[in-house]
Amino acid sequence: MAQFAVIGLGRFGAACSQELMKLGHAVLGVDADSKLVAKYADELSHAVIADATDKQALEELGLENYDVVLVAIGSDVQTSLLCVVHLKSMGIEHIWVKASSHTQHLILNKLGVSRIIHPEEEMGLRIAQALSYPMVEDYISLGNGEFIVEIHVSEQLQGAPLKQFLRDTPSAIHALMVKRRAELFVHPDGDFILDGNDVLVLLGQLHVLKAIAPKLA
């Protein structure tokens, strides 16, 4: 179990906090709005009222003891940036920050935070991918054009060998895993027989993965 601190309990911060709790982690929620803190007090490990621009208030939270501090402050860019400056001066190493503009992204990049999040942009990309390739259930970008994708195998492909779909791209795509209900088959070879409704986890270049996805539908 990891420990996370989420500063800002608006819709984004609250959603992240609640999901982390569901995943079994400990979460400290922080917000200047007493109503928001009261709203989520029973759902989080701890919830406290604190001004994110007050360095002393942040120091009293013991944030150095958390694995990651997520600054999820909404549209108040000045408050978000000042909070990050305080966290950096306190020696907090792992800081994730929600950004709402390109300018804020540039400043956060200069401040050296661990990760900059653009929720609307990232969700927009996921929705576009889902609309374009409905058989792709989920994906993770590894950088340099490499992606890990989950592809839902059609029932019509019951009994087909995996190599039937990978033979044209033997070195460009790597089959990492097949998920079949409660079973996992790691690094299946080309002779692996697919079952209808299998979920195939593949690694490769995005353009190659896009080309193969329709063949599995």
Residue located via tokens 């950088």: 143
pLDDT given for residue 132 in this prediction = 47
pLDDT single digits (tens) 74-91: 778 999 999 999 999 999
pLDDT given for residue 131 in this prediction = 45
Domain ranges across the chain: 3-117, 122-216
The CATH code that applies to domain 122-216 is 3.30.70.1450
pLDDT given for residue 83 in this prediction = 96
Q: Which CATH superfamily is domain 3-117 in?
A: NAD(P)-binding Rossmann-like Domain (3.40.50.720)
Q: Which residues of the chain have pLDDT under 70?
A: 121-139, 143, 167-171, 213, 216-217
pLDDT given for residue 66 in this prediction = 95
